[in-house]
C-alpha cells in the first residue's frame, strides 16, 4: 500500500519533470538540481550576511537603528535629472553618503531576505523530490536524517534572523517563543531563560540571538558535511543556466522589493510603502511590553508562530514533534529485501580501486592485504551502505566484484543467447 503510494508520487513527479524537460532540456532542468540549489542559495546568505554583519550592532537600543542605517537608502534608480529615487519613484532628499546610510544596503539585505526564502523553498522542494521518488530509504538513511536536521536548523537560523531586526514583530516573536519553550515539562522555565540570556530581555538577549544566528549557520556547514559524507561526487552546484536563473531571481526580487524598515509614520507620508511592508519590510522599533496587535507571518519561517496562535503552545509542540518523528523514521520503513549485495572475489581483486572510486554511496573501501600477498590492496564492501546498483561491477575490469543475482557471466551468456535467437 505504502509502496504503491510512493510509486504513484514517483509517476507524478517524473511526469512533471518530463514536461519541464521540453522547456529546459535534461541538462538544465532545475528539478534535477534540487539538491544543489539549497547549497547554492546558502552561499548568497553567507556573503550577504557577512556584509550585513559589518554594520549590525546587537544591542537593544542600536539593533533596529543599525539595520535602519544599513537600509535607509533603498536606492538604485535615478531620474532624467540625476535625482536619486526610491524604487517607488519617491525622490531621496539626501544623496548617498556614509552619514545617511549604506549604498545598496537595502538591496544586500534584500538578497539576504530573499535568499533565505529561496533556501527554504529549495530545501523543501529537495526533500519532497527525494521522498516522492523513493530515494530516502535504506542505505540512504544518513543523508535523509541529516537533511531533516538541516531543515530544522535552516528554520531555526531563519527565525533568529527575524529577531535580530529587533522591530515590534521581533519582540512579539520572542514573547511567543518564551511561552512555547516554557511549556516544556521540567526544563521549560530554564529553556525560556536560556533563550533570552537571563530573567529579562536586555542587551545580552540580542547578543545571544546573534550567536544563535551565526552559530546556527556555522553548524549548518557541519550538517552539510554529514549530508554529503556517504555520497561520492555530490552535486554541489547546479548547471550554469540554472545558476544564472537563480541568481537572477534573487537579484531581481531584492531590487524590486529590497528589505527596508517601514514605520507607520513613513506609510502616512508615502502610502505606496504599505505594499513593501506587506511583502518584506520590518516594523517600527521594538518596545518592551508593546506586543503587535497582528503578527505578519512569513510563510517559510514563521509558520510555527501561526500554529501557536491558532492551536496554542502545547498542540504546536505535539504537531511539530510528531512531524519531526515521522520524518526521522521515514527512511527505515518499509524495509526492502536485500539479497543482491556486491561481493568481492578475493582471488581476482587486484586492488585497482576503480570500484571504490565509482561507488556512488561510499560502500567500498580499500584495505591492505596480508603481507606477502600478490597484490597490496583488496576491495571490501560494507553491506549496509550497498545499494545493489552494480556500478562497481561495471567499473571492475577484472570481474572481481559481482552482484550474486545479476552475475556478469550470466549477462554475457544472455547476450550470446539473444544473438543466437536473433539471427534465426
Partner 1 sequence: MSELPPIVPAEKKRRVIVGFVCERSIPIHDMLDAHKALTDDPETKIIILPCSGMVKPTQMELALANGADATFVCGCAMNDCHYRTGNIMIRERLEGQRNPKLRKSTDKRKVGMFFFTMKDKRPFLEALAQFKASTENL
Binding residues for partner 1 (CB under 8 A): 10-11, 14-15, 17-18, 21, 26-27, 29, 32-33, 133, 135, 231-233, 235, 239, 340, 354, 358, 360-361, 387-391, 393-397, 403, 406, 408, 411-412, 414-416, 418-419, 421-423
Nearer to partner 1, 16 or 187 (CB): 16
Q: How far is the CB of 388 from partner 1 (least distance, A)?
A: 6
Nearer to partner 1, 199 or 233 (CB): 233
Nearer to partner 1, 302 or 342 (CB): 342
Q: How far is the CB of 119 from partner 1 (least distance, A)?
A: 21
Q: Which of 156, 143, 118 is nearest to 42 (CA)?
A: 118
Which residue is associated with the grid cell 496587535?
Answer: 293
In this structure, the dihedral spanned by the alpha carbons of residues 208, 210, 212 and 216, taken in order and rounded to 10 degrees, is -160
Q: How far is the CB of 254 from partner 1 (least distance, A)?
A: 28
Q: What HEC string does 327-357 produce?
A: HHHHHHCCCCCCCCCCEECCCCCCCCCHHHH
Q: What angle do CA 170, 209, 314 make, to 5 degrees?
A: 65
What element of type H or E holds 364? strand 364-368
Nearer to partner 1, 257 or 361 (CB): 361
Nearer to partner 1, 153 or 382 (CB): 382
Nearer to partner 1, 367 or 421 (CB): 421
Nearer to partner 1, 193 or 399 (CB): 399
Q: What angle do CA 212, 216, 217 make, to 5 degrees?
A: 125
First-last CA distance in the chain? 44
Q: How far is the CB of 360 from partner 1 (least distance, A)?
A: 4
CA 245/CA 239 separation, integer angstroms:
10
Q: How far is the CB of 256 from partner 1 (least distance, A)?
A: 31
Q: Other CB atoms closer than 10 Å to residue 411's CB: what's the count?
A: 12
Q: Are 346 and 398 in contact (CB under 8 A)?
A: no
CA 73/CA 75 separation, integer angstroms:
5
Q: How far is the CB of 30 from partner 1 (least distance, A)?
A: 10
Q: How far is the CB of 250 from partner 1 (least distance, A)?
A: 22
CA 416/CA 424 separation, integer angstroms:
13
What are the DSSP calls for 70-112, one per residue? Answer: HHS--EEEE-TTS-EEETTSPBPSSPS-TTT--TTHHHHHHHH
Nearer to partner 1, 26 or 290 (CB): 26
Q: How far is the CB of 399 from partner 1 (least distance, A)?
A: 8
Q: Other CB atoms closer than 10 Å to residue 251's CB: what's the count?
A: 15
Q: How far is the CB of 351 from partner 1 (least distance, A)?
A: 14
Nearer to partner 1, 209 or 228 (CB): 228
Amino acid at each position: 500500500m505504502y509502496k504503491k503510494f510512493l510509486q504513484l508520487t514517483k509517476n507524478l513527479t517524473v511526469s512533471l519533470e518530463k514536461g519541464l524537460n521540453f522547456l529546459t532540456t535534461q541538462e538544465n532542468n532545475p528539478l534535477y538540481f534540487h539538491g544543489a540549489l539549497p547549497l547554492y542559495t546558502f552561499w548568497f546568505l553567507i556573503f550577504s550576511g557577512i556584509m550585513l554583519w559589518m554594520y549590525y550592532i546587537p544591542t537593544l537600543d542600536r539593533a533596529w537603528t543599525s539595520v535602519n542605517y544599513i537600509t535607509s537608502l533603498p536606492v538604485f534608480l535615478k531620474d532624467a535629472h540625476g535625482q536619486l529615487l526610491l524604487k517607488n519613484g519617491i525622490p531621496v532628499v539626501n544623496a548617498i553618503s556614509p552619514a545617511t546610510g549604506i549604498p545598496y544596503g537595502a538591496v544586500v539585505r534584500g538578497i539576504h531576505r530573499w535568499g533565505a526564502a529561496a533556501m527554504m523553498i529549495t530545501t523543501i522542494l529537495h526533500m519532497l523530490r527525494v521522498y516522492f521518488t523513493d530515494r530516502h530509504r535504506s542505505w540512504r538513511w544518513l543523508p535523509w536524517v541529516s537533511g531533516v536536521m538541516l531543515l530544522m536548523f535552516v528554520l531555526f537560523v531563519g527565525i533568529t534572523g527575524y529577531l535580530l531586526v529587533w522591530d515590534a514583530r521581533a519582540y512579539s516573536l520572542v514573547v511567543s517563543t518564551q511561552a512555547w519553550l516554557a511549556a516544556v515539562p521540567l526544563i521549560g522555565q530554564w529553556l525560556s531563560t536560556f533563550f533570552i540570556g537571563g530573567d529579562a530581555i536586555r542587551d545580552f538577549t540580542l547578543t545571544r540571538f546573534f550567536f544563535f544566528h551565526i552559530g546556527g549557520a556555522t553548524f549548518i556547514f557541519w550538517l552539510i558535511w554529514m549530508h554529503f559524507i556517504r555520497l561520492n561526487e555530490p552535486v554541489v552546484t547546479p548547471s550554469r543556466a540554472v545558476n544564472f536563473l537563480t541568481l537572477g531571481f534573487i537579484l531581481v526580487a531584492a531590487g524590486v522589493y529590497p528589505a527596508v524598515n517601514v514605520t507607520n509614520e513613513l506609510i502616512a507620508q508615502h502610502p505606496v510603502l504599505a505594499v513593501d511592508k506587506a511583502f518584506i519590510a520590518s516594523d517600527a522599533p521594538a518596545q518592551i511590553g508593546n506586543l503587535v496587535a497582528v503578527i505578519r507571518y512569513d510563510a517559510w519561517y514563521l509558520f510555527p508562530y501561526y500554529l501557536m496562535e491558532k492551536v496554542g503552545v502545547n498542540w504546536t509542540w505535539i504537531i511539530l514533534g510528531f512531524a519531526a518523528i515521522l520524518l526521522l523514521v521515514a527512511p527505515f520503513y518499509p524495509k526492502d529485501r536485500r539479497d543482491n549485495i556486491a561481493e568481492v572475489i578475493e582471488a581476482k581483486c587486484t586492488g585497482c580501486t576503480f570500484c571504490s572510486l565509482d561507488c556512488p554511496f561510499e560502500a567500498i573501501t580499500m584495505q591492505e592485504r596480508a603481507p606477502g600477498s600478490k597484490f597490496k590492496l583488496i576491495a571490501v564492501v560494507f553491506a549496509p551502505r550497498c545499494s545493489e546498483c552494480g556500478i562497481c561491477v561495471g567499473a571492475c575490469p577484472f570481474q572481481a566484484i559481482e552482484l550474486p543475482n545479476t552475475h556478469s557471466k550470466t549477462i554475457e551468456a544472455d547476450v550470446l543467447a539473444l544473438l543466437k535467437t536473433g539471427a534465426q
